[in-house]
């Protein structure tokens, strides 16, 4: 793992197919993808290699923040990879950020290993790690 990487692992008490669908189905993705800050979240998904996604949330001032990407690898029920760009005030400019999500069947459910690379500073990585942990908490609520 590179020094600019964030890696989180979480086990969800749900089968792999259900957890994978939460990442690939736009209606499910919109329910958790902005974590606790998500308000009127919406997702558009073209779930195929080369396809893209856009996930937005409403802000109190009426503006919408988004994260946008293109899928670079999909192995059904095993792995999703995509780049990510932010249409939100991140406080930094980044050339390329990438996300890799791995799905592992376990007796207790599905272990997800989430890796985000390309974040340019330690402070931004710490903030993203907190944000992604919150997002995974929201996913747990959706899967419950």
For 36-76, write each residue's pLDDT tens digit.
877 889 999 999 999 999 999 898 788 888 889 999 999 99
CA distance linking residue 86 with residue 82, whole number of Å: 13
Q: Where are the domains of the chain?
A: 6-143
* Residues above pLDDT 70, as percent of the chain: 93
C-alpha dist (Å) from residue 21 to 15, 27, 30, 72, 85: 10, 10, 12, 17, 22
Closest CA to 77 of 142, 6, 14: 14
CA angle 7, 20, 32 (to 5 degrees): 70
Q: DSSP labels for 12-57? A: ESS-HHHHHHHHH-HHHHHHHTTGGG-SS-EEEE--STT-EEEEEE
Q: What is the pLDDT of residue 31?
A: 94
32 burial type by CB count under 10 A (0-12 exposed, 13-18 middle, 19+ buried)? buried
Task: Give the range among 19-23, 35-39, 51-55, 80-84 with minimum mean pLDDT.
Answer: 35-39
Instruction: Kindly report the CATH class assigned to 6-143.
Output: alpha beta
* 96 contacts 84 by C-beta, under 8 angstroms: no
Residue scoring higher pLDDT (121 or 41): 41
* pLDDT value for 42: 94
Q: What is the pLDDT of residue 66?
A: 87
Look at residue 89 and tell me whether its pLDDT is greater than 90: no
């Amino acid at each position: 793992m590179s020094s600019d990487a964030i890696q989180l692992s979480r086990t969800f008490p749900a089968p792999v197919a259900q957890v994978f669908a939460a990442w690939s189905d736009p209606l499910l993705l919109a329910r958790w993808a902005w974590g606790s800050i998500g308000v009127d979240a919406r997702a558009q998904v073209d779930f195929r290699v080369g396809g893209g996604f856009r996930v937005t949330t409403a802000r109190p001032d009426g503006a919408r923040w988004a994260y946008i990407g293109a899928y670079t690898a999909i192995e059904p029920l095993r792995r999703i990879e995509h780049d990510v760009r932010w249409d939100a005030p991140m406080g930094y400019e980044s050339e390329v950020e990438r996300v890799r999500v791995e799905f592992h069947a376990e007796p207790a459910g599905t272990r997800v290993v989430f890796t985000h690379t390309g974040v340019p500073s330690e402070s931004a990585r710490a903030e993203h790690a907190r944000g992604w942990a919150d997002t995974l908490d929201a996913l747990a609520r959706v899967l419950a």
